[in-house]
Amino acid sequence: MVASKVDDVSRLSQDVNDISGKGLVQANIAEDGIQAINGAVHDAGVIIEEFKTQAEEIGKIIEIISSIADQTNLLALNASIEAARAGDAGLWFAVVANEVKTLAQDSQRSADNISRIIEELQTQSEKAGAAMQKATDEVTRGSEAINETIRFFHTIAEQIQEISDNIAEVAALSEEERNAVQMIESRISGMKTLADDTSDEASASAVASEESSVALNQISSIMTELSQIATQIDESMKRLKT
């Protein structure tokens, strides 16, 4: 029956609506996760930028140390020359100058090593920054996809509700149509019975004129045809209901 089919479709619509609701909940959870990741990526990016800034500051200090080491090395060289001119009197001065020179050279090597390490760290920071930016872009695209999914689930829910409303209207119209057909069948059946009775009475009456008999037969034929039409309508409605 139509009502049974409508109930089945209504249940299916409700099932789809429930699934859509669950999908919407999961999509919102995923969106929250995406936003948390986005926040973590942003924080990591800030830390990397701060690290790069600190590395640049250290690099500037290393440049100062290298400059001082160069100047100290030059002074030590000049002191060694002056000590050599002084002969034995400048011997201890030459030893000190040599130690200062060695210290300056060690400082320069340390500064060079630190500078190399800083450059490596800066290079890695640049790569990390690029990776973080890529991650941020991916997170943004993921967030957009999740939001699109959420909108999609909302659309599904709205369409399911519209379908449910239409199904209810179809059910109501089908019931009205069934009642109307039953009413037509009842009235046509009554008319056919009346026509049959009238035809029987006319045939039984010896005084009935030939024209009246023909007219009554025509009426009976018309009633029969109407009854057949009503039967066809009823059969069509039964096929619609199954």
- Taking 3-state DSSP, the helix, strand and coil percentages for the chain, each rounded to the nearest 5, stand at 95, 0, 5
* Residue 125 domain-assigned (yes or no): yes
Indicate whether 156 belongs to any domain. yes
* Amino acid occupying residue 117: I
- Compute the distance between CA of residue 136 and CA of residue 45 in angstroms, rounded to an integer: 9
The whole-angstrom separation of Cα 78 and Cα 96 is 12
In a domain? residue 235: no
Amino acid (one-letter) located at 15:
D
Q: How many CB atoms lie within 10 A of CB 142?
A: 16
- Determine, yes or no, domain membership for 186: no
- Number of domains the chain is built from: 1
| pTM exceeds cut of 0.75 | no
Domain that residue 12 falls in: 2-172
Q: Which of 175, 180, 216 is nearest to 195 (CA)?
A: 216
Shortest CA distance to 42 belongs to which of 148, 137, 166, 111? Answer: 137
pLDDT tens, position by position, for the chain (242 residues)?
555 655 666 676 676 667 667 777 777 777 787 788 778 778 877 887 887 788 788 888 888 888 888 888 788 788 778 777 777 766 777 777 778 778 878 888 888 888 888 888 778 778 877 877 887 787 778 778 777 777 777 777 777 677 667 767 766 666 666 666 567 566 656 655 655 565 555 555 544 455 555 655 665 565 565 556 556 655 655 554 55
Residue 100 near residue 76 (C-beta atoms within 8 A) = yes
Domain assignment present for 101? yes
The letter for the amino acid at 58 is: I
3-state secondary structure 90-159: HHHHHHHHHHHHHHHHHHHHHHHHHHHHHHHHHHHHHHHHHHHHHHHHHHHHHHHHHHHHHHHHHHHHHH
Please check whether residue 204 lies inside any domain of the structure.
no
CATH number at residue 80: 1.10.287.950
Has residue 163 been placed in a domain?
Answer: yes
Within a domain: residue 142? yes
